[in-house]
A and B are shown apart, each in its own frame.
Chain A
Amino acid sequence: MVNQQIISLCQHGKQNGQRQLYEACAPYVYSTIKRYIWEVEDIKDTMQEVFANIFSHIDTYDASKGNFNTWIRKIAINQALMLIRKNKKISHLVPLDSIEEIPFGAADKYENLSREDIDKLLAKVPEGYRVVFTLFVIDGYHHKEIAALLDIKEETSRSQLARAKKWICHHLFNDQKNKAYGLF
């Protein structure tokens, strides 16, 4: 846990404080980034960027606006999205007319769902889906925020989420009717 003393040391540019902050927050930052980026080298690079940003801008952290973990999580997510945007075009995604709900009868099937199951699926899911799904479902962003982060329309964010959930449900529950989905 990061206390005010560590933050204060970092604000004064003390390397000892930066080390303590890194050791306290690195697992959390790593977990956050790993939801968006899968390549180890990219994760490493992004983590370095995140902590470089944290150390450079820790003066601007205002405890009254939220806890420290929330602040660094935002930085981590922004940095991860920056890398994704750089590697892939997300802005070409287009809206859907309707949103697919979870398949009928599926609700009782995810009672035993584990985080590993989701992790495995997220490793396979197309990147555009994964980013929106993770932002919305796991990190609790709203579509308006996602649209701003990814520079897409709000409807596009909704449609991406719908496709992501459809994709995940298809693979979780092997829904027969979804077999025609997509190519390859």
Chain B
Amino acid sequence: MDSFDKKVADLYNKNQTPDQLPEGFVWDEMSKGIYEKMESPNRKRKPLFWWLTFGGFILLVSVPGIFFIQKSNNIAPNQTTETSLPTIKEKSTFSSDKPIAEATQIGKEPSATATLQNTHPYISNNKISNKSIVLNNKKTKTLYQESKPIHVIELRDIMDLTTIESESIISTSSPETSVSGAEDFPESVNTKKSENTFATSVPASTTKTVVPSTLPLRWVTMSSDKIIAPNILLPKEKPTDTPSKIAIKFTPKVYGGTLLTTGKYTENQERNTYSRWSPGYYTGIDFTILAYKKWTLNLGYEHKFATQVLELNNIVDTVVITVENALTSITTNSLNGTTSENRETITTNGTRTRNYLHYNTFRSHALRLTLNRTFPLTPKWHLTTGFGGTYNFLNQARGTTLDLDGNKLEYSPDMPIYLKRNFAIDAGLSLEYKIGRIKLSGNLWLEKSLSFGLEPETSIQPTFYKIGVGAAFTL
């Protein structure tokens, strides 16, 4: 124990009266807690902040997730019935080489070539004429099925109808096109002005809207504007990205990129002369938890890593230099010419110059809550801006131990210093490209921290520039 230790030990242990008990520590107030602890010594202690933070986070994430999963399980069987059949009609193509009058001669020529593929039992009972009715669920537009000599009804199964999207085609292309099934349910065929693509030489300005004759009337009816069908067959509205009511969503997004940091010490500005930041990285995951029209609320976790370089040159230390057996003088006897050396131990103060070069690392674990607004640029490209807050709940700094000469300095490289928790303000924008349910994005965010540091003189308010990419997946 050196003298410093002894001094401190004496301050605490010698002739010192114990501290006075503060309010709230008297027996009457403490005894209840003491007896409770005696009765249940192994009781669980009160939840700590760490568990509260993560418990809340997990709760916030999992509840919408469970809600979504349950909801999606309920609607799964009907999920493909999302597109409304009216759109089939609206974008369908009807073509015929024959005048409408002929085309509407229903069932005059029983077909020997009609083909029905994968027909549902309901369908197989219906008459199929030799007139071509092609019902595809192709997602690319094929306006005219000219190459098909034989008229085919492609109804792979009854559920195929439910996957028809807005670009599906209903077309007839036979020279002798007619529409069958009208005898069975004549009210299902109307003549109307068509807004559809008309790819034939039909001179008439009116045309038919065609419905597959295979569908029983109780399933499909046609009006002048719409084809109405029960839910089991007909698609419903597809969910959009812009719900008109506040909706609970669960869209995870992973992201990451380069972290550029700037920041100056305000109290101890001298540190700014020898401190500089070098690029780091950030990564995180966030979840869209609420959506309203083009607004979304996101909650997520983020990890940041940065490096701060401390460089000091020409640090002068005072050191004690002791030289033992140093030759201090030589005495020569002038009478006999002999010499004698005088040696002694010399102690003196000296200086030592050193350079410091420290690569100190900084890590932060944070929760982010942001409010975002999406601006569709094109159907595929979206621009999203956001604003929110970050709570850096675990901040850690580590110092390394190499000087310019490669010598290890006297303290540990790996022992972290925990900095106080802090809040930060977030703002940024993302450019997103949508591929189905996946959104790829390029992100640019700025995070302005309120305060980091152990104490005022070393506190700093860094600004983090986050440049990176991300991928979101809509479940």
Contacts and interface: CB of A to CB of B under 8 A. Distances in A.
Nearest to A102: B4
Contacts of B454: 124, 126, 184
Given A166-B410, A184-B419, A52 B455 contact: no
A110 B37 CA distance: 43
B417 A47 contact: no
Interface string A104-139: 111100100111001000001011100000001110
A124 B455 contact: yes
A94 B401 CA distance: 13
Interface string B14-45: 00111111101101001101111110010001
A48 B33 CA distance: 6
Judged by DSSP, the binding face of B is: mixed
B13 interface: yes
Interface residues of A, number: 66
Nearest to A171: B455
Contact of A163 (B35, B310, B411): B411
A157 interface: no
Nearest to A175: B317
B271 interface: yes
A98 B34 contact: no
B4 A165 contact: yes
A71 interface: no
Contacts of A166: 410-411
B146 interface: no
B412 A118 contact: no
Contacts of A102: 2, 4
A37 B284 CA distance: 34
A159 to B, nearest CB: 6
A162 B9 contact: no
Centre residue among B24, B34, B310, B358 by max chain A CB count within 10 A = B34
A55 interface: yes
B8 interface: yes
Interface in B250-276: 270-271, 274
Contacts of B17: 27
B460 interface: yes
A63 interface: no
Given A55-B38, A138-B12, A94 B412 contact: yes
Nearest to A54: B34
B410 A110 contact: no
A19 B34 contact: no
B459 interface: yes
Contacts, number: 170
B5 interface: yes
B411 A184 contact: no
Interface in A1-41: 18-19, 22-23, 26-28, 30-31, 34-35, 40
A28 B13 CA distance: 11
B360 interface: yes
Given A86-B45, A96-B412, A180 B22 contact: no
Given A28-B18, A165-B4, A52 B410 contact: no
B320 interface: yes
A97 interface: yes
A138 to B, nearest CB: 5
17 contacts: A26-B27, A27-B21, A45-B45, A47-B25, A88-B418, A94-B412, A98-B410, A102-B4, A113-B8, A115-B12, A118-B11, A163-B411, A165-B4, A179-B271, A180-B312, A183-B361, A184-B419
Given A28-B18, A182-B411, 17 more contacts: A26-B27, A40-B22, A52-B35, A56-B41, A97-B410, A100-B410, A110-B4, A113-B7, A124-B454, A166-B410, A169-B4, A177-B316, A177-B317, A180-B358, A181-B399, A183-B310, A183-B398
Interface of A: 18-19, 22-23, 26-28, 30-31, 34-35, 40, 44-45, 47-49, 51-52, 55-56, 86-88, 92-102, 104-107, 110, 113-115, 118, 124, 126-128, 136-138, 140, 159-160, 162-163, 165-166, 169, 177, 179-184
Interface of B: 1-5, 7-9, 11-13, 16-22, 24-25, 27, 30-31, 33-38, 41, 45-46, 48, 270-271, 274, 308, 310, 312, 315-320, 356, 358, 360-362, 397-399, 408, 410-419, 452-455, 458-460
Q: Which 5 pairs between the two chains have the least Cβ-Cβ distance? A: A183-B360, A27-B18, A52-B37, A183-B397, A48-B33
